Structure formats: C-alpha cells, structure tokens
C-alpha cells in the first residue's frame, strides 16, 4: 500500500467534505469535475444530464493520460470528447486507483 498516496487521497476527501459540508466519494468528485468543466451556472440537472456530466468528468480526468481529447463544445456549451486510445485491461481496484490519481492531479493543479 502506498501510504503517501492514501494520505493525499484522504486529505482531498477531507478538503472537499469541508468545502461542501457533506460527505464525498470518488463518484461525487468525478461528477463535480464534470459540473466544473461544463462551466454553466449551478442548477438542477436532469438524469441524462447527470450521466453526461459523469462522462465529461471521466474524459477530462483521463485527458492528461492520453486516453481522450476534447473535440470542442456544441451549441449548448457541452464539451465533447473522442477516445484517442483504449484503456488497458484493468481490474476494479486498478480502475479505482487510476481515477483517484487523476482526481488528485486535477485538484492539485
């Protein structure tokens, strides 16, 4: 186990929980990235928009790793992405680790 990594992850969760005054998890942070990157005012999102926001979050987080690239935005301001290369076969734990690393990189920038 990488203690430095785990400490960074716990610190990120703690900072976000303090900021939003509510518990957060990996999925919540991916959603938050999607909302942030969409850049529209805070509002209630429909179910299909929430799914799209998760997709945006994932794409943005994996962009620096070369898995996606941004194509631009549509008329409504929603970003669109294209997969540049396939993710390697990963176990559930490896997928979780990759997303945590990407989230740490994103929030530390």
Q: What is the pLDDT of residues 46-65, one digit of tens each?
A: 999 999 999 999 999 999 99
**What is the 8-class DSSP label of residue 90?**
-
pLDDT at 80: 97
Q: Name the one residue in this structure whose structure tokens are 């993710």.
A: 87
Burial of 92 (0-12, 13-18, 19+ CB in 10 A): exposed
Mean pLDDT of 5-34: 95
Residue 42 has pLDDT above 80, yes or no: no
Mean pLDDT of 14-25: 94
**Residues spanned by the domain of 45:** 3-108
pLDDT at 82: 96
Of the chain, the percentage scoring pLDDT greater than 70 comes to 99
Residue 1 has pLDDT above 70, yes or no: no
CA distance 72 to 11: 33
φ, ψ at 81 (rounded to 5°): -130, 160
> What's this model's pTM, rounded to 2 decimal places?
0.92
Name every residue whose Cβ is closer than 8 Å to that of residue 3 and which is 6 or more positions away in sequence.
none
φ, ψ at 100 (rounded to 5°): -65, -45
- Our count of domains for the chain comes to 1
Mean pLDDT of 76-87: 94
């Amino acid at each position: 186990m990488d203690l430095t990594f785990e400490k960074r992850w716990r610190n990120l969760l703690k900072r976000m929980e303090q900021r939003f005054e509510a518990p957060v998890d990996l999925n919540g942070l991916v959603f938050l990235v999607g909302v942030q990157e969409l850049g529209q005012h805070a509002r209630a999102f429909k179910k299909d928009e929430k799914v799209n926001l998760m997709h945006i979050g994932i794409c943005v987080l994996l962009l620096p790793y070369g898995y996606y690239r941004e194509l631009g935005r549509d008329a409504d301001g929603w970003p669109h992405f294209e997969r540049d290369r396939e993710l390697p076969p990963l176990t559930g734990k490896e997928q979780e680790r990759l997303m945590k690393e990407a989230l740490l990189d994103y929030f530390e920038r």
